[in-house]
């Protein structure tokens, strides 16, 4: 009797593939959708997802060699700037008025960065297209949920105590993740799907509370169009604009306050906020060097160290807490990261630059410096782009020819 063929299936590899599929489904579909109805969905689900990806890579070892990846990362100028920011933040604990809460927030920040690095190292060397198609699927589903909430929010979110915060955070996450979704679809030459995804997200953000996500998406769209038209110009303008805004931030209230007063009125919240910023720069110029210490901008409002109507933007908080050292290191980090992105796969560069522009605009308008949900959202976008870049190994296939190939010359000719 003939012997039955031996099975070549490996249960461990099957388990790793299942864990990886669950991880990407959670990261790309469940997190964007759940973020529309829960303020804590991103912070709770993202670490669990990254742990699943780490376990999967530990089983099948399909990720790139960690040593080589870490070596390239450590040698990059952007990594040195990031280490300087963390070091200066830790050093500022010596003069911050809130050393214990600041140390706890810094530990959470370092843990988030470490988990993001672990997720980056755990991504497989060759991403399956089936896992990456989950990203536009999740973004589209989240946009539909956001539209339904915008149209029927009173009925759908009546019992949600954190409805306003969830909608705002969900819209911000949606604006950021729309660009990796568009970049992936364009890399697969699905331009119609990419356009439909962008329009669906824009429609959702038009119904979201607040104009910040919609405005940031518009700035990202301009960066996307410019980079698509001329890649080097779009990368250079985005990098220089972001770095200059960080470096020259203390001058912004002096320039913007007269404009805001003329357009919005001198008693508008924006004008008053710029006036407070201008006064702080004038009264404490020495603090522009050292800063007031980590976590001071948030907690200082509750002890009269800082007025309640002071700005809550990244530009203000970075200078107020870390001074010129943190601001210049952050500017160099942004500039180096954006310019490095311009050397990657040309199909993905417009989407990556648009994501940089969108995230930076959100940070400049209304998100603080070290909110964990905000850093987690950025970490998800980074992992999405890295996964997409590692899914480009079969971006184009050779066309089959019906005619036989002409024979080449003989070796003796």
Within a domain: residue 127? Answer: yes
Examine residue 397 and state whether it is found in any structural domain, yes or no: no
For 63, the 3-state DSSP assignment is strand
Angle at 264 between CA 262 and CA 220, to 5 degrees: 105
The Cα–Cα gap between 108 and 47 comes to 12
In a domain, 274, yes or no: yes
Q: Is residue 233 part of a domain?
A: yes
pLDDT attached to residue 306: 86
Q: Is residue 377 part of a domain?
A: yes
Please choose, from the candidates 198, 250, 251, 190, the residue with its C-alpha nearest in 3D space to the C-alpha of residue 395.
190
Angle of the 191-206 helix axis to the 134-156 helix axis, nearest 10: 20
Q: Where are the alpha helices (DSSP H) in 188-313?
A: 191-206, 212-229, 231-247, 252-264, 269-283, 287-290, 296-299
Flag whether 404 is in a domain. Answer: no
Domain encompassing residue 171: 14-153+160-389
Q: Beta-carbon neighbour count of residue 334 at 10 Å?
A: 21
SS3 of residue 124 by DSSP: strand
pLDDT digits (tens, 9 = 90+) for 157-190: 545 545 556 788 899 999 999 999 999 999 999 9
Cα distances from 291 to residues 94, 288, 300, 322, 327, in angstroms, run 12, 6, 13, 4, 10
The C-alpha atoms of residue 371 and residue 382 are separated, in whole angstroms, by 17
When the pLDDT of each residue in the chain is averaged and rounded to a whole number, the result is 86
Tokens at residue 105, please? 């927030």
List, for residues 88-114, the tens digit of each pLDDT value: 999 999 999 999 999 999 999 999 999
Closest CA to 120 of 310, 385, 413: 385
Looking at residue 163, its pLDDT comes to: 55
Q: Where are the alpha helices (DSSP H) in 1-98?
A: 11-25, 31-34, 41-60, 66-74, 77-91
Residue 154 is predicted with a pLDDT of: 54
Task: Give the CA diameter of the chain.
Answer: 95
Task: Please indicate, yes or no, if residue 25 is contained in any of the structural domains.
Answer: yes
Other residues' Cβ atoms within 10 Å of the Cβ of residue 255: 12
User: What's the pLDDT score for residue 38?
Assistant: 87
Q: Is the pTM of this model over 0.85?
A: yes
Domain annotation covers residue 394: no
Give the tokens for residue 384.
């999405």
CA gap 144, 140 in Å, rounded = 6
Below-50 pLDDT ranges, the chain:
1, 6, 158, 161, 395-413
pLDDT at 160: 52
Report how many domains make up the chain: 1
Sequence-ordered list of residues with C-beta below 8 angstroms from that of 138, at least 6 positions apart, any chain: 28, 29, 30, 31, 32, 33, 177, 181
Q: How far apart are the first and last CA of the chain?
A: 57
Residues with Cβ within 8 Å of 122's Cβ and at least 6 positions away in sequence, in order, are: 50, 53, 54, 56, 57, 58, 63
């Amino acid at each position: 009797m003939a012997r039955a063929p031996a099975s070549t299936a490996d249960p461990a590899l099957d388990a790793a593939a299942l864990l990886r599929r669950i991880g990407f489904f959670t990261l790309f579909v469940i997190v964007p959708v759940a973020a529309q109805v829960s303020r804590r969905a991103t912070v709770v689900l993202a670490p669990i997802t990254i742990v699943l990806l780490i376990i999967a890579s530990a089983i099948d070892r399909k990720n790139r060699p960690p040593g080589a990846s870490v070596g390239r990362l450590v040698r990059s100028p952007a990594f040195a700037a990031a280490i300087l920011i963390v070091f200066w933040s830790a050093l500022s604990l010596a003069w911050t008025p809130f050393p214990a809460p600041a140390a706890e927030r810094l530990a959470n920040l370092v843990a988030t960065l470490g988990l993001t690095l672990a997720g980056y190292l755990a991504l497989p060397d060759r991403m399956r297209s089936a896992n990456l198609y989950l990203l536009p699927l999740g973004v589209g589903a989240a946009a539909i949920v956001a539209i339904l909430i915008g149209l029927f929010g009173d009925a759908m979110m009546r019992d949600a105590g954190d409805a306003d915060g969830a909608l705002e955070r969900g819209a911000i996450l949606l604006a950021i993740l729309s660009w990796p979704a568009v970049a992936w679809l364009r890399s697969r030459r699905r331009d119609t799907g990419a356009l439909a995804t962008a329009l669906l997200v824009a429609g959702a953000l038009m119904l979201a509370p607040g104009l910040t996500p919609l405005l940031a998406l518009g700035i990202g769209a301009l960066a996307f169009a410019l980079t698509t038209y001329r890649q080097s110009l779009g990368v250079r303008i985005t990098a220089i604009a972001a770095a200059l805004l960080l470096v020259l931030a203390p001058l912004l209230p002096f320039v913007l306050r007269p404009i805001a007063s003329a357009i919005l009125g001198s008693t508008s919240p924006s004008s008053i906020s710029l006036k407070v910023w201008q006064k702080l720069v004038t009264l404490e110029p020495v603090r522009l060097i050292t800063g007031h210490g980590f976590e001071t901008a948030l907690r200082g409002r509750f002890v009269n160290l800082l007025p309640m109507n002071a700005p809550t933007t990244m530009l203000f908080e970075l200078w107020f807490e870390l001074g010129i050292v943190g601001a210049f290191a952050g500017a160099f980090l942004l500039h180096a990261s954006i310019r490095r992105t311009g050397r990657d796969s040309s199909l993905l560069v417009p989407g990556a630059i648009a994501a940089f522009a969108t995230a930076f605009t959100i940070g400049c308008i209304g998100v603080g410096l070290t909110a964990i949900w905000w850093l987690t959202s950025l970490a998800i976008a980074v992992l999405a782009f890295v996964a997409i870049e590692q899914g480009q190994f079969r971006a184009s296939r050779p066309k089959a020819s019906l005619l036989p190939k002409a024979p080449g010359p003989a070796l003796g000719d």
